[in-house]
Amino acid sequence: MSATEYVQFDSGNIGPADASKSPRFAGIATFARLPRAEEVDHVDIAVVGVPFDSGVSYRPGARFGPAHVREASRLLRPYNPAADISPFAQVQVADAGDISVNPFSLDEAVLDIERAADELRAGGTRLLAIGGDHTLALPMLRSVAKTHGPVAVVHFDAHLDTWDTYFGAPVTHGTPFRRASEEGLIDMEASLHVGIRGPLYGKEDLRDDERLGFAIISTHDIEVEGVEMAIERMRRRIGDRPVYLSIDIDVLDPAHAPGTGTPEAGGMTSRELLRMLRAFSNTSIVGADVVEVSPPYDHAQLTAVAGSHVAYEVISAMAARP
């Protein structure tokens, strides 16, 4: 244990640094000021950064996302009143640092992420990856599928990310879920996108997406039917399957998350997204990612604050069903 004074819960788990003894703005940032993985005896949920954006098609900068989200997460506190849970007391959560990713080879980077995920998941640790661009969802799903087989993917995003290729490249941030479907990594009867909106290249994009195993809850659906109806549709779709959550921060409207690579007008509010994530508290979440936070386009940490709270709600839902 380092000189940092962490909170110790009755459960024996080590929680965030004690804010009454070390100001929140002091020290090197870990997610939510949690201990580093090497400072605890075991890790139930590891938060790991993936500083990588070689798969982006428009605005770069998400490689700086993990550090940006960690800085914004300093204000997170141990008790989640909306979910009525103290996630860090329920399970041991720790910051596993960053995965070292090859910034010059997309193919090598994908292998780097998969290998690191395999190592971190050994012994039953569940991962929450902070990106980085959405390409990382493919190696994360490859790793998870080795343990759980095809999983229900619930994908929050403005975009489908089931395109085939871009400039001939089969693996980019716009293709991970097509490759995952083709490789048999997803449960094709239980996967869905949430928050889809904006123009497409053509109607065939939707036909392709359905063939690949995804249902869609669009922002239009949420506007017309309401959040609770969207949650009910989501629950019916995933049932009791193991779930992988993949959250592109651009699912939020640019008013709530300007710092992202491919913003689209008409998105969800942060309040709507957090409410939907709390609905996973009775679900078996086997892994998750929060991606596409791009600090160069952020203002006053708006996007990073949203990203840190999204990650906190995911951890809370994971902790509710260890």
Chain segment 176-223, per-residue pLDDT in tens: 999 999 999 999 999 999 999 999 999 999 999 999 999 999 999 999
Closest by Cα among 273, 227, 280, 281 to 252 = 273
Residue 3, pLDDT score:
66
Closest by Cα among 3, 5, 22, 23 to 14 = 5
Q: Residue 149's domain spans which residues?
A: 6-320
Closest by Cα among 155, 131, 156, 153 to 144 = 153
Q: Is 295 within the bounds of a domain?
A: yes
Q: Would you call 159 helix, strand, or coil by DSSP?
A: coil
The first and second tokens of residue 162, run together, are 């089931």
Q: Is 1 within the bounds of a domain?
A: no
What CATH number does the domain containing 205 carry?
A: 3.40.800.10
Task: Specify the pairing of strand 6-8 against strand 14-17.
Answer: antiparallel
Q: Is 273 within the bounds of a domain?
A: yes
Burial degree of 57 (CB within 10 A; 0-12, 13-18, 19+): middle
Q: What is the spatial distance between Cα 175 and Cα 135, in angstroms, rounded to a whole number?
A: 7
The first and second tokens of residue 199, run together, are 């123009």
Q: Would you call 246 helix, strand, or coil by DSSP?
A: strand
Residue 322, pLDDT score:
78
Q: Is 100 within the bounds of a domain?
A: yes
Q: Is 55 within the bounds of a domain?
A: yes
Residue 1, pLDDT score:
42
Residue 191, pLDDT score:
98
Residue 21, pLDDT score:
85
Number of domains the chain contains: 1
Q: Which residues of the chain have pLDDT under 50?
A: 1
Report the 10 Å Cβ neighbour count for 227: 17
Cis peptide before 97, with omega less than 30 degrees from 0? no
User: Is 159 within 8 Å of 216 (Cβ atoms)?
Assistant: no
Q: What is the spatial distance between Cα 70 and Cα 181, in angstroms, rounded to a whole number?
A: 31
Closest by Cα among 154, 150, 133 to 142 = 150
pTM of the model: 0.96
Q: Is 282 within the bounds of a domain?
A: yes
Residue 247, pLDDT score:
98
Q: What is the spatial distance between Cα 215 and Cα 312, in angstroms, rounded to a whole number?
A: 26
**What single string gives the DSSP state of each residue in 167-217?**
TTBSSSTTSHHHHHHHTT-B-TTTEEEEEE-S--S-THHHHHHHHTTEEEE
